[in-house]
Amino acid sequence: MMKNKFSYNPLPQRPVISWLLRVAFLSLAAPYAAAGGDAPSWMHAQANAALPSYDDKTDAVLLYSETDVTVVSTDKIRTTVREAYKILRPDGRRYGTVAVYFNPQRKVKSLHGWCIPAQGKDYEIKDKDATEVSPNFEGAELISDVKYRVLHIPAPDPGNIVGYEYEVEEQPFFLQNEWRFQEIDPVRESHYSLQLPAGWEFKASWLNHAEVKPAETGSNSWKWTLTDVNAIRHEPEMPPFSGVAGLMVVTLFPAGGRSPMGFATWDDMGKWYSGLLAGRMEASPELKQQVAALTAGKDSQLAKTQAIMRFVQHDIRYVAIELGIGGWQPHPAPEVFAHRYGDCKDKATLTRAMLHEIGIESYHVVINTERGAVTAETPAHHGFNHAILAIKVPDGLNDPSLVAILQHPKLGRILFFDPTDEMTPFGQIRGELQDNYALLVTPDGGELIALPQQPPAMNSIERTAKLTLDDTGTLKGDVKEVRLGQRASSERWALRAVTKDVDRIKPIETLLSSSLSSFQITHASIVNLNTPDQPFGFNYTFESPAYAKNASRLMLVRPRVLGKKAYGFLETKEPRKFPIEFEGPARDTDTFEITIPAGYEVDDVPPPVDADYGFASYHSKTEVKGNVIDYTRTFEVKELSVPVSRAEELRKFYRIIASDERNTVVLKTAAK
């Protein structure tokens, strides 16, 4: 939905890439020229390895992984990687495509691949057969100096073993390395070796795995070994992969003391990033003139701030330019202003420069837009993909529109704001940022903080309908929806480029089709599409033939006409391993008034429902008022994560909702 790139180098250590990128590379790369050639001994050592029995969801197993890191100096690190997979099922063929990224600071020195078939002679593919491609980050308006060398290993078929070896040499921007040893498929054996120059030291930090002590293998060299690492099986609404996968972060310290290129703590990382910001927020004369023009006639700091925020959100186009250190360091504010474009950290830098001109302090905040990717236990490393702002709220400024506020023990009240999110009003943040850990960067250093969670009512759908049922079972009438928060911004994002009226009502059609077997929309309009600081809305009129079911002298009517809150993704026989993550706090209400046809009376109504499990609640009630059935319900998400220990409670909660959504009111012909 969002084009929120922090513009750091997000590329993984592992060369095995996601299947989406792999599909793109398959379409771009030239055909390989397979040749006969013996696979290396380290691969053949795995050919006859005894394997446990895997279920039918396991596509492949990583038989052997070896990562050898040699630190030459602060300006040069060499890494050699060897890996071999056994393909178990057709979808495991994706491991036959290997992609190793490079840029001006990272050179691919060699790249080879092999296949050991279950029967027949080995295949080999050499460096000269690799193809260079540039990743296509669709919609991100990205300019990057990162490319990939892509190798297609022949015959990656079930029963065969594919493997590769490559060496890279890089000039690092910071002295830190990561060992990502856990995958979506099981790992039988994994090694990580580190060779340091004399006098150098290291610190190893572990996440989502018990600490493993290394073995000393020589002078200032160490080796870590892991065996039988479990696969991470995807579960619906689980935390992001990076938040649950095993990780070892190695921070390097040169001889003679700490280097500004290394950080062992979040405070260190904050100092490192703060150094990248130095001198970037000085305003040019033209920028000062713009601030003066925007704030002219505004008699309050809030009005002035709002004017600046609207300008940065809507008049500065999002374009990410990731060249060298530009993957982490923002461009100077005057450049961003002059060009009228920048990525998230550029827009944050420009906003800070403009706020400074009206006497308001602010700070960069780096965050991962996938809540759970960084937690309170995460070791200090580059686990972020986005940049926003923390703004000091002036003393005495108390306005109900300013909701995303945290009381900081040193800075006082700080308000979080995302300059790239043009659909979220100033004063609020969208759901994925709420209750999410981020690095607050100040001139004194860095601090990992949890962003505030907004009240559920600020992310809501309030749906009201006045409907009429005739004696044939046809239901028709008017519906009004008022949406706030992300419930509104998601619709605005979906409709922002839609120009045809027939396409603008597709969200309404989708809602109706999920609840009604047949329908016709006779009128529809959109409210406040282009005014994000106002509630968004849909107003529409529909007709649904045979909505009610006739049975002799009875008619069955479902009072919950539209909208589904029950989810079936938890109904599985396999035990849940990971928490369930909600998108954000929410509070949705439905009110349906159904006027029943003449000659009928209500014979039976469903019982009320009151289900409150702490993390979420659901309340519904069906009443009869004269000849009108009045159904009301409220669905509220209060906590954003449900632990595995309470997964069964969540299943029960959704079953209660599903039952209520199926309930019917029984009508019978009135006695004469």
- Cβ atoms of residues 615 and 639 within 8 Å: yes
Q: Which residue has the higher pLDDT, 136 or 301?
A: 301
For the segment 556-580, the average pLDDT, to the nearest whole number, is 88
pLDDT reported for residue 1: 29
- Cβ atoms of residues 346 and 330 within 8 Å: yes
Confidence of residue 387 (pLDDT cuts 50, 70, 90): very high
For residue 671, count other CB atoms closer than 10 A to its CB.
5
Residue type, 670: A
pLDDT reported for residue 144: 81
- How does pLDDT run across 229-252, given as a tens digit for each residue? 999 999 999 999 999 999 999 999
Lowest mean pLDDT among 74-83, 361-370, 571-580, 628-637: 571-580
For the segment 39-45, the average pLDDT, to the nearest whole number, is 95
- How does pLDDT run across 76-97, given as a tens digit for each residue? 999 999 999 999 999 999 999 9
Q: pTM of this prediction?
A: 0.89
- Cβ atoms of residues 252 and 220 within 8 Å: no
- How does pLDDT run across 302-351, given as a tens digit for each residue? 999 999 999 999 999 999 888 888 888 999 999 999 999 999 999 999 99
d(CA 84, CA 96): 10
Mean per-residue pLDDT of the chain: 91
- How does pLDDT run across 503-525, given as a tens digit for each residue? 888 999 999 999 999 999 999 99
Residue whose token pair is 């209400």: 589
For residue 670, count other CB atoms closer than 10 A to its CB.
10
Confidence of residue 141 (pLDDT cuts 50, 70, 90): low
pLDDT reported for residue 652: 95
d(CA 77, CA 94): 29
For the segment 54-73, the average pLDDT, to the nearest whole number, is 96
For the segment 638-666, the average pLDDT, to the nearest whole number, is 96
d(CA 213, CA 643): 30
